[in-house]
Amino acid sequence: MIMSKETLIKSIREIPDFPIPGILFYDVTTLFKDPWCLQELSNVMFEMYKEKGITKVVGIESRGFIMGPILATRLNAGFIPIRKPGKLPAETLEESYDKEYGQDTVQIHKDALDENDIVLLHDDLLATGGTMKAACALVKKLKPKKVYVNFIIELKDLNGKSVFGDDVEVESVLSL
């Protein structure tokens, strides 16, 4: 496992000053284009959650839409998108939040989840945790049984895990 994680980390493209000056962007599309990396991510995340009884994987726009459905398929679960405003066609709930470089809002369909669901929330990167905290708040409004949170990458120095309560398990495949 150590060797595969090192290989995955080496496959991530770093882009300085994106989307604004001073931000170092970790581009995971380089992981997705490599068949070995994509399969390894799928395998690692499946192993992390296969015994948790996940009924729905919720992916955050837009990179959460890549591994989220792959993981949902492997876990025999449904997939639910969390999107930016105006993208979901039915009635929605929304949550606004501050990001490291501005403010944003996310939405979920009101009928996406229910009290019988065990949810895995997925996104590509945990930095300060703002986006996922808002997504988690949205999911909790729908009162699922349990919520798990997963990232491909966690930027440990930014301490993003600290924004989540003790009732949410937060894990990532890679730490940088």
Backbone angle region of 53, left / alpha / beta, with phi > 0 → left and psi within -120 to 50 → alpha: left
pLDDT digit string, tens, across residues 109-134: 999 999 999 999 999 999 889 899 99
The residue among 94, 110, 17 whose CA lies nearest residue 61 is 94
Choosing from 14, 61, 63, 115, which is the catalytic residue? Answer: 63
Question: Beta-carbon neighbour count of residue 17 at 10 Å?
Answer: 10
**Beta bridge mates, 123:** 151
DSSP H helix total and E strand total for the chain: 5, 9
For 59-115, the pLDDT digits (tens) are: 999 999 999 999 999 999 999 999 999 999 999 999 999 876 678 999 999 999 999
Taking only the tens place, the pLDDT of each residue in 144-171 is: 999 999 999 999 999 999 999 899 999 9
Question: For residue 105, what are the contacts with CB-CB under 8 A and spacing of at least 6?
Answer: 84, 85, 94, 95, 96, 97, 134
* Residue 151, beta-bridge partner list: 123, 172
Is the pTM above the cut of 0.85?
Answer: yes
Asked if pLDDT for residue 1 goes beyond 60, the answer is no
Q: Mean of the pLDDT values across residues 21-29?
A: 92
171 given a catalytic annotation:
no
Question: What pLDDT, on a 0 to 100 scale, did the predictor assign at position 23?
Answer: 87
Q: Which of 6, 14, 47, 100 is catalytic?
A: 100
CA angle 134, 138, 139 (to 5 degrees): 120
> What is the distance between the alpha carbons of residues 35 and 149, in angstroms, rounded to a whole number?
25
Peptide bond preceding 62 in cis form (omega within 30 of 0): yes
Residue 19: pLDDT band with limits 50, 70, 90: confident
DSSP assignment letter at 36: H
Residue 83 among the catalytic residues: no
Share of the chain above pLDDT 70, in %: 97
The DSSP code sequence of 113-150 is --TT-EEEEEEEEESSSHHHHHHHHHHHHT--SEEEEE
